[in-house]
Amino acid sequence: MTTPTGGRNSSNARTRPITTNVSAALSPHSAVADPARLAAVDSYRLTGHAGDPDLDSLVSHLAQVLRVPTAVINLVGPDHQCYPAECGAGIPSSQVPDKLSFCAQVVAERAPLMVSDARSHPVFSGNPLVLAGRVASYLGVPLIDEDGFVLGTLSVFDSRPREFTAEDRGVLEALVGLVRVVLSLRRRTALHAWDAQLLAAQGRVLEEVATGRPLVDTLDLLAATVRDLTPTADAPRLQALRTAVDRLTAVAIHADERRRAMERMAHQDSLTGLANRAYFTEAGSAALAAGGAVLFIDLDRFKEVNDRGGHALGDQLLIRIARRLREQIAEVTPDAVVGRLGGDEFAAVLPGLDREAAAGLGGRLVHALVDEVVAGRRTVRVSSSIGLAMARPGSTFDDVLRAADDAMYAAKDSGRGGLHLLDT
């Protein structure tokens, strides 16, 4: 623990590797008790729960996202832990000796700490919460203020042993930036009413981010904040406004990108990028409401490719077929919903297409979805059996999909590599 605990020249915690090994011979007490660091902690004038709904929402959201019973913002003092916001702890502060404190160790090391099983840990097995059976694993990241002082941590605790992932750590490191912004702005509002206006605007922005509002709405709110506060700002406050807006803009953009990525993961098949079965059913039902057709595609001899060449070769084939399927359908009906239902089965909803147009597209796909794969010592010719079913008044999405599935099996029975049409 040779790294300083404060000062502007201190390295950023994000550049430090996560700590997993902690020696019982090294106590974090001297780092925690550093006078300059304690002065920085005291400047925030927090001795317990801050009563800040934004911080409360943040720890509640963190506990929900990481599926843990306890999440806290912890300002660390000597043998003392103050919680400006907590979810699951049920107390505003606690008294744990620094040598047994997870969060004190994070402060001393200026680095994230993960403990996957505290019950057998040489240091933390003696922590009172571990002994009581309330804590078995821990993940925390340092909360570093704008002057470079490690105030404490943003941490989560689980009551069962757990290996936290790099993605879990990324969530904490993203959110600790929000905590830093909120606490910094709170400190400034003690003397300046203008800062209180900025804090309120910042709270509205964070609320928009937390509730998943469209990014354009959040950026509009930030622009309105700049218009409202700029006329009454002196030079230092104008710089503070620009800094806060820049940080909040970055936070909003990052959150929007993360939300979009999570939506894509929830909706997409991870291998092909097509809609997964759940999203295909949801979006396909809506797309077929006004009529149209459903195609059901199954690859012929795909099992032989897998058996002879292995799953990696089969995956490469599925990716190629999915790309052609998507491209061919997009040329005819850009509003189509195309999905992979599992294995080598694909389906497409063609909204608004009549029987002739749908059959024409199905015929094109019979020729397009053909591939020759060298598997082992043999070249396997893979074709596609395609079933087509038309939606009729009163038919449900499940009815049409089932009919298309039946039609696909009829195409296989007819010799594979063909199109068969059924009406519902």
Instruction: Catalogue the active-site residues.
Output: 344
Instruction: Provide φ and ψ at 305, rounded to 5°.
Output: -60, -45
Q: What is the DSSP string of 43-85?
A: TT--SS----HHHHHHHHHHHHHHT-SEEEEEEEETTEEEEEE
Please tell me the distance from the alpha carbon of residue 11 to that of residue 300, in angstroms, as a whole number.
58
- Region of 387 please: left (phi>0), alpha (psi -120 to 50) or beta: beta
- Is the distance from CB of 404 to CB of 424 less than 8 angstroms? no
Residue-by-residue DSSP string for 152-214: EEEEEEESS-----HHHHHHHHHHHHHHHHHHHHHHHTTT-HHHHHHHHHHHHHHHHHHTT--
Q: Measured between alpha carbons, how far is 207 from 360 in angstroms, rounded to an integer?
A: 50
Strand pairing category for 345-351 and 292-300: antiparallel
Residue 216 and residue 185 in contact, taking contact as beta carbons nearer than 8 Å? no
User: Please, what is the angle between helix 235-267 and helix 193-210, to 10°?
Assistant: 10
In angstroms, rounded to a whole number, what is the distance separating the alpha carbons of residues 127 and 310?
A: 50
Rounded Cα distance between 118 and 126, Å, is: 9
């306890």: which residue's tokens? 70
Please choose, from the candidates 170, 246, 174, the residue with its C-alpha nearest in 3D space to the C-alpha of residue 205: 246
Buried b / exposed e across 349-366, counting CB within 10 Å, b at 16+?
bbbebeeeebbebbeebb
**397 with 424: CB under 8 angstroms?**
no
- Cα–Cα distance list, 320 to 224, 269, 344 (Å): 48, 14, 12
